[in-house]
Structure 1
Amino acid sequence: MPKKGNRKRLKFKAGDVCCESVTVADFANADPAVVKSGRVKKAVANAIEKEVKLLCGLEASQGAVEEVLSSASSVRADAVGSSDDPEDDEGESETKVARKKKTKRKKESSESSDGEDYPVDIWLMLSSYIRPEDVYRFSLICKNAWTVTCTAAFWTRLYRRHYRVEVDLPFRLQPDSIDRMRCLRACVIRSLFHLYEPFSLRVSKNPALPESTPTTLLNSTCFLFWVKKLSGTRPEALWEFNFKFKKQGHFKNGCAKSLHLPKQYEEVHMNPDSDCCVLQVTTLNYIFIPVVMGLTLTLFTINVSTDMRHHRVRLVFQDSPLQRGKKRGDQGGTQVVLDPVHSVKLMDWWHPLYPSLPYI
């Protein structure tokens, strides 16, 4: 076999190794074969042991030195004893390189063949035992598991498993309405926030006024607005101002998701309100609002009112979205100030109180 270049090799002698003769250059120019294998030659080990015993004393250092040297000179079970001949070392290193390449090829082939490809029917059967909050994790197991979550059978079974007659559901979420394919997934998710206790508790714990101003509405476009008069136990009526926003789509690196829905299940996943949310502000008095439909929200604040008894909501709309890196548009644009405010709610499309027809 041809030798590798004219690489200079270091030959270690027991007499050359001591605390004065060991330098950084010795380790910098060390033989790669020795460094890669992690083995220490016996002559070098004996010289180091002798030097340590002379410095520390034979009686005190014997145990510690043996422990250090044994860990430094440990060799794998299939390794062969080292030789002082450079040609033998080179042949041994060549054999180890070939063995490592062969092991790497075996490992790559075994990795590519690992795993079992189970049919979709198996995943559909397992999906009957998945909790609603674990649907996302289940879909990440493999492509077949994700395909199951796209089917109408999966969402229909999920609805029937949690349906309860005693729960008062809206008409659009009744079992008769669930039988149709169109927007099936959205209807089932909305129903779970009425039927499934962990989801309903999550919504009921939301306070009347958020602890901090929501920032998810920034750069969203308002495409619908309506006012509703509320009559209740209060002697004075409350006024409900509703702003429906369309959020900007979020794509990674400017591209859509790599997985595409099966064509036969596109109607199941259809949801016109997927990127929509409704900001509902209830006030004690009626307030005139300028036309904001078609404008983009650039500022949203909730502060304490001037009388220190209520809250004040301020919205600023611009003709175009706010550019990245620029300050929020405090000045200019169309401003909407609601004061005094009784409650503020930001509802996503799956919220139980998300308004339906005729308002949307």
Structure 2
Amino acid sequence: MPKKGNRKRLKFRAGDVCSESVTVADYANADPAVVKSGRVKKAVANAVEKEVKLLCGLEASQGAVQEVLSSAVSVTEDALESSDDLDPEEDGGNETKVARKKKNKRRKESESSEGGEYPVDIWLVLSSYIRPEDVCRFSLICRNAWTVTCTAAFWTRLYRRHYNIDADLPFRLQPDSIDRMRCLRACVIRSLFHLYEPFSLRVSKIPALPESTPTTLLNSKCLLFGVKKVSGTRPEAMWEFNFKFIKQEHSKNGSAKFLCMPRQYEDVHTNPDSDCYLLQVTTLNFIDFTPGVMGMTLTLFTINVSTDMRHHRVRLVFQDSPLQRGRKRGEQGGTQVVLDPVHSVRLMDWWHPQYPSSPCT
């Protein structure tokens, strides 16, 4: 943008003015850079005075001249005020001015207008028609809508709306268990993955091991570790290694999400398995020595081809402290767990139908 001092100002000469070139429109459309102060320059005033004398005759009174000049000044000031909202460097016509004025008017009306606030009972009635996948959108409408999604009545109605007596539900998700307040939200969400068809189809489309698994589990804390024997189609039984991980951010600030929630609804939203993952590794043979890794942090997770070139090989490295951002993990140190040969690897969220939830949920 050129500096103000570099702007070229037009020069008016009294001899250049004639009856065909001086009009009121010239002052209405004047460039603010030419007459920035809003006053007519002396050269322009003299030119107008001379033109008026020529039109009215030598006997024209001085009062008539002053009246014409005052009208020209008022028109120029109005033009300057209307041109303040526009950029002098942009070529905008009357349509641009009108559109910008309408936009400013709408903005002022929106700022001055106050919206109505509906009671919680109205939002509770509307919540009876909300689909499970739209609960988050509904809670973001306003504070009262969010308060409704925190109540036990909302989650109980959502469960009864989609409950089917023919559905194969675990005992902890049966109607008798849903009546309790504690962990009600978590139980209803888990039951919807059994009862609600869009959710069950979503689970079937999830791959057994997503590509983002190594990134997801990085710097996660191992809460539980267990091994159990499972029967399969093979003559010998397979072994299942289960690692339960939780994000470090959740373990440090687990109670932060309850700061703004009403206290009477904290039991409804309690979920010990929130932000937890279950890494399930099924091996063909039993691993004789597996070190204890409970309470340690996972810093490396890789899946490679096994030595027999027919299965997989899983390698997990645990350390006592999380890996600092921007630093590389040293090859030395840490506890290493190698599972080989591996038949399958699965990663499940806390809401997965096959996730072994905590006893209280």
Aligned to 1:193: 193
| Partner amino acid, structure 1, of 2:217 | L
Secondary structure class of the residue paired with 1:261? coil
TM-score, normalising length from structure 1?
A: 0.71
Secondary structure class of the residue paired with 1:214? helix
Q: Aligned-pair distance for 1:174?
A: 0.3
Q: Are the structure 2 counterparts of residues 29 and 340 from structure 1 closer, same or farther at C-alpha, using a change threshold of 3 Å?
A: same
Q: Aligned-pair distance for 1:206?
A: 3.1
Contact 1:151/1:265 (8 A) holds in 2: yes
| Partner amino acid, structure 2, of 1:194 | H
Q: Are the structure 2 counterparts of residues 314 and 157 from structure 1 closer, same or farther at C-alpha, using a change threshold of 3 Å?
A: same
- Report the Cα distance in structure 2 between the residues aligned to 1:233 and 1:147, rounded to whole angstroms: 51
- Report the Cα distance in structure 2 between the residues aligned to 1:359 and 1:308, rounded to whole angstroms: 43
- Report the Cα distance in structure 2 between the residues aligned to 1:188 and 1:12, rounded to whole angstroms: 80
Does 2:110 correspond to 1:117? no
After TM superposition, the structure 1 = structure 2 runs for residues 1-150 of structure 1, keeping only pairs within 5 Å, are 10-11=9-10, 29=33, 85=72, 88-90=75-77, 93=80, 107-108=107-108, 110-150=110-150
**Residue by residue, what CA displacement relative to the aligned partner does 1:205-229 show, whole Å, maximum 9, x if unpaired?**
3344445643111111112111010
Contact 1:298/1:329 (8 A) holds in 2: no
The structure with more radius of gyration: 2
Aligned to 1:327: 328
Contact 1:9/1:31 (8 A) holds in 2: no
| Partner amino acid, structure 2, of 1:340 | P
Q: Are the structure 2 counterparts of residues 319 and 359 from structure 1 closer, same or farther at C-alpha, using a change threshold of 3 Å?
A: farther
- Report the Cα distance in structure 2 between the residues aligned to 1:9 and 1:256, rounded to whole angstroms: 62
5+ long unaligned stretches in structure 1: 1-7, 17-26, 35-82
| Partner amino acid, structure 2, of 1:218 | L
- Report the Cα distance in structure 1 between the residues aligned to 2:280 and 2:163, rounded to whole angstroms: 29
Q: Are the structure 2 counterparts of residues 209 and 104 from structure 1 closer, same or farther at C-alpha, using a change threshold of 3 Å?
A: closer
Aligned to 2:343: 342
- Report the Cα distance in structure 2 between the residues aligned to 1:177 and 1:340, rounded to whole angstroms: 40
Aligned to 2:20: none
Aligned to 1:224: 224
**Residue by residue, what CA displacement relative to the aligned partner does 1:207-260 show, whole Å, maximum 9, x if unpaired?**
444456431111111121110100133211010001111212269xxx956971
Aligned to 2:301: 300
Aligned to 2:315: 314
| Partner amino acid, structure 2, of 1:272 | P
- Report the Cα distance in structure 1 between the residues aligned to 2:316 and 2:78, rounded to whole angstroms: 78
Aligned to 1:172: 172
- Report the Cα distance in structure 1 between the residues aligned to 2:266 and 2:130, rounded to whole angstroms: 22
Q: Aligned-pair distance for 1:92?
A: 5.0
Secondary structure class of the residue paired with 1:165? coil
Q: Higher mean Cα deviation, 201-210 or 184-193?
A: 201-210
Q: Are the structure 2 counterparts of residues 91 and 213 from structure 1 closer, same or farther at C-alpha, using a change threshold of 3 Å?
A: closer
**Residue by residue, what CA displacement relative to the aligned partner does 1:255-282 show, whole Å, maximum 9, x if unpaired?**
9569711111111001111122211111
Identity %: 73
Secondary structure class of the residue paired with 2:322? coil
Aligned residues: 293
| Partner amino acid, structure 2, of 1:224 | L
- Report the Cα distance in structure 2 between the residues aligned to 1:219 and 1:346, rounded to whole angstroms: 16
5+ long unaligned stretches in structure 2: 1-6, 18-30, 39-69, 86-99
| Partner amino acid, structure 2, of 1:300 | F
- Report the Cα distance in structure 2 between the residues aligned to 1:240 and 1:166, rounded to whole angstroms: 31
- Report the Cα distance in structure 1 between the residues aligned to 2:37 and 2:229, rounded to whole angstroms: 85
After TM superposition, the structure 1 = structure 2 runs for residues 175-254 of structure 1, keeping only pairs within 5 Å, are 175-211=175-211, 213-249=213-249
Contact 1:9/1:86 (8 A) holds in 2: no
Aligned to 2:60: none
TM-score, normalising length from structure 2?
A: 0.71
| Partner amino acid, structure 2, of 1:215 | T
Q: Aligned-pair distance for 1:30?
A: 5.0
Aligned to 2:355: 354
Q: Are the structure 2 counterparts of residues 347 and 87 from structure 1 closer, same or farther at C-alpha, using a change threshold of 3 Å?
A: same
Aligned to 1:153: 153
- Report the Cα distance in structure 2 between the residues aligned to 1:29 and 1:295, rounded to whole angstroms: 71
- Report the Cα distance in structure 2 between the residues aligned to 1:157 and 1:113, rounded to whole angstroms: 36
Q: Aligned-pair distance for 1:96?
A: 8.0
Contact 2:229/2:237 (8 A) holds in 1: yes
Aligned to 2:265: 265
